[in-house]
Amino acid sequence: MRAWGDKALDGVNIKTARHGGVSRTRQLRDLCNTLGIAVYIQDVWGTAISASAIAHLAASTPPELFLGIWDPMGWNESDVATGGPEMRDGRYFASDRPGLGVEPMMEILGQPIAIYE
């Protein structure tokens, strides 16, 4: 807020894992949108699951306040979910399936530690 008040920034890089996950990142992105601050959305690393969160946050950001994303999926030799975002014709597309649009690969992830209902 001080940097914004001092007119000392042009944009903000928001990393989902460093800011408490998707909901907290969305709150920060929304605050930046309200203040007219452009955002770059990424994570520190990730799989199809975190990439899907990034894609959905990016897709719901006004274009004039969107600087870009970093796609972690290209750096992984394998993944833990299917249905992540796709790159087509130089554009990044989030899934239109419910939630993040991914299907966890339980044979790789193993049994859940806890289930909350």
Give the residue extent of every domain in the chain.
Answer: 2-109
Short-list 60, 102, 63, CA closest to 81: 102
Q: At what angle do helices 48-59 and 22-35 cross, to 10 degrees?
A: 20
Q: Is the pLDDT of residue 91 over 80?
A: yes
Q: What is the pTM of this model?
A: 0.86
Please give the C-alpha separations between residue 37 and each of 28, 30, 69, 112, in angstroms, as whole numbers. 11, 10, 15, 39
| Mean pLDDT confidence for 97-115 | 94
The pLDDT of 99-107, averaged and rounded, is: 95
Supply the CATH classification number for the domain 2-109: 3.20.20.120
Q: Is the pLDDT of residue 46 over 90?
A: no
Mean pLDDT of 76-101: 91
Query: What percentage of the chain exceeds 70 in pLDDT?
Result: 100
For residue 74, is pLDDT > 80? no
